[in-house]
Amino acid sequence: MKIGIIGTGYVGLPSGVGFAELGHDVVCIDAIKQKIDDLNSGKITLYEDGLEELFNKNRLAGKIKFTTSMKEGVEGADVVIIAVGTPPHPVTKEADMKYIHAAAKELAQYITGYTVVADKSTVPVGTGDDVEKIIREVNPNADFDVVSLPEFLREGFAVHDFFNPDRIIVGANTERARKVIEDLYKPFGDKANMVYVNRKSSETIKYASNAFLAMKIHYINEMANFCEKAGADVYEVAKGMGLDTRIGPKFLNPGPGYGGSCFPKDTNAMAVMARKYGVEMSLIETTIRQNDARKFDMAEKILKATNGKNIAVLGLAFKGGTDDCRQSPAMEIVNALLEKGAQIKAYDPKAMTVAKTLVGDKIEYANDAYDAVQGADAVAILTEWTCFKDLDLSKLKANMKSPVMVDLRNTFSKEQAESAGFKFTGIGR
C-alpha cells in the first residue's frame, strides 16, 4: 500500500518507519524543510531506541521517503495519516486544532482515487466530522473516508510499541474504510488485536486512556506523600497493590509528577471538553491541579535537603529513553529551582540539545554525571535513565561539596545511597 504521513515528529517518524518495515511504501511529509533535508541526508531528527537502524535500512531500500510536498505524499495514497501536533491552547488549554485543519485543507486538494484519511493525532471528539467537512468543502468530488486511528505509543519505546501494540483502535464509520485499515495492519497477522468502534468512541478512547493513566500516577504520588508521613514504604505498598490483577503493577511508580507532551495536554483537553458538555470530571480536574503543584513541592523538597544552592541535576527529559523535554517535570523543577535562586549544572544522556533550546544559558551543562556534581551542594535525580543506576556512588560523592542526594526516581535505595555516604531523600518512604 502507499501511505502518506503528514507530520514527521515523535509519532509520524516512528510510525512511518514502522509501516515501511512492514512492507508498505511510505512518504513522510513535514512543513519544516530543515527536518526533511536532515532526514533525506540520513540524519535522524529525534531519539528513539532502535529507530535509527530501521530508518536507515528502509530509507536506503527506498521504502520510506521524506518531502515537504503534500502533493507527493497524498497523490495516489491508499491511506493518508495525519500525525501533526495538537498542542494545548495557551489560554483555554483545549487542543489547538490549527495544524489539523491546515493539514486537512491542504491534503484535500491532492486526493486521487479512494483514500482513507486516518487521524493519528490526539483530537477532540467530533474532529473526524470536522476533517470530513473540510475535505468535502475543498474537494467536493473526492472519494474518501475519515477514520480515527489513535496512537498509543510510549515515547522511548516507540519502535517496540509500534511492533507490539496492546490494541489498535479503529474508529471507522464505513465498512470500506475499515477494510483498508485492516489491510494496513495485515502484516501483523493475529498480533494486531484490532478493535473497531465508531469514530467518536475512538476519539474518546484516547483521552479516556491518557486521563486514566495520569490519574493512576497522581494516585500513587498521593500515596507516596501519605507513606512519608505514616512511616510506610510506597514501593512496598505499590507492589502489594499491583499484584491485584484488577489494579495491575504499571503506572504505580511514584515520582515528581507526570509530564511530557501528552498527559498534561490531554488531561486538560479532556477537562475542557467535559466542561463544554456540562459533565463534571472532578477526578481529572483534581489530578491536573495537584500534578501542577507537585513540581513546586519537589523543588522545595530538594532545597530542604541541603543548606546550599548549587544543585546538580541528573536528567532533563520527561522520561528515560527520549530526548523530549516538552512539559518535562525535570525542566519544570529546574525552573522552580532557578526562581528560588539555585545555580544548576545539569546532565542528561540524550536531551541536552533539546533542553538548551528551552532554558538556554540559565543553567550550566555538564559532560557527564560526575562533571555535573563537581562542587555541588546536592544532586537531584529527576529522570529515570537506566544508565544512572550504574553510577559509581563513591566517585559521585568524591566530586561533591556535600554528599546530599535527592532521588525523585527511585534510582537508588536509601541503603545503597547511605552506605556510599550520602544523606538521602527519596520519595514515599
User: Cell 479516556 appears where?
Assistant: 208
Query: Considering the complex, what minimum distance in angstroms separates the CB of residue 70 from ligand NAD?
Result: 7
> In whole angstroms, how close is the CB of 326 to ligand NAD at the nearest point?
8
Identity of the residue, 5 or 172, whose beta carbon is nearer to ligand NAD in the bound complex:
5
Which among 227, 262, 325, 387 is annotated as catalytic? 262
Q: Mark the segment that binds ligand NAD (CB under 6 A) among 1-9, 51-59, 126-134, 359-367.
A: 1-9
Q: Which is nearer to ligand NAD, 104 or 344 (CB)?
A: 104
**Closer by beta carbon to ligand NAD, 120 or else 345:** 120
**Which residue do the cell numbers 468543502 mark?**
137
* Binding status of residue 31 toward ligand NAD by CB under 6 A: yes
Identify the residue among 4, 20, 39, 86 touching ligand NAD (CB under 6 A).
86
Among 4, 5, 19, 30, binds ligand NAD (CB under 6 A): 30
Q: With helix as H, strand as E and coil as C, how does 394-415 read?
A: HHHHHCCCCCEEEECCCCCCHH
Q: Is residue 108 part of the contact set for ligand NAD (CB under 6 A)?
A: no
Q: Is residue 84 a contact point for ligand NAD (CB under 6 A)?
A: yes
Near ligand NAD in 5-24, by CB under 6 A: 6-12
Residue whose cell numbers read 535562586: 341
Residues 124-183 that bind ligand NAD (CB under 6 A): 151, 153, 155
All 3 cell numbers of residue 213?
493513566
Q: b/e string for 215-235 if b means 16 or more Cβ within 10 A? A: bbbbbbbbbbbebbeeeeebb
| Residue 351 grid coordinates | 536531551
Cell of 185: 495492519
- Whether 262 is a known active-site residue: answer yes
Task: Check the CA dihedral 74-79-83-84 and report its sign.
Answer: positive
What does 50-74 look like in DSSP terms, one character per residue?
Answer: THHHHHHHHHHTTSEEEES-HHHHH
Separation between Cα atoms, residue 407 and residue 413, nearest integer Å: 9
Nearer to ligand NAD, 10 or 422 (CB): 10
With contacts defined by CB under 6 A, how many residues of the chain interact with ligand NAD?
28
Q: Where are any strands of DSSP class E within 138-291?
A: 144-148, 168-171, 194-197
| Cα-based distances in Å from 278 to 36, 212, 271, 281 | 43, 20, 10, 9
Grid coordinates in use for 93?
A: 488549554
Piece in contact with ligand NAD (CB under 6 A), picked from 118-126, 290-298, 382-390, 394-402: 118-126
Tell me the residue number closest to ligand NAD, measured at CB. Answer: 9
With binding defined as CB under 6 A, does residue 204 bind ligand NAD?
Answer: no
Binding string, residues 241-280; x marks residues near ligand NAD by CB under 6 A: --------------------xx------------------
Q: What are the catalytic residues?
A: 262
Residues making contact with ligand NAD (CB under 6 A): 6-12, 29-32, 35, 83-86, 99, 102-103, 106, 120-122, 151, 153, 155, 261-262
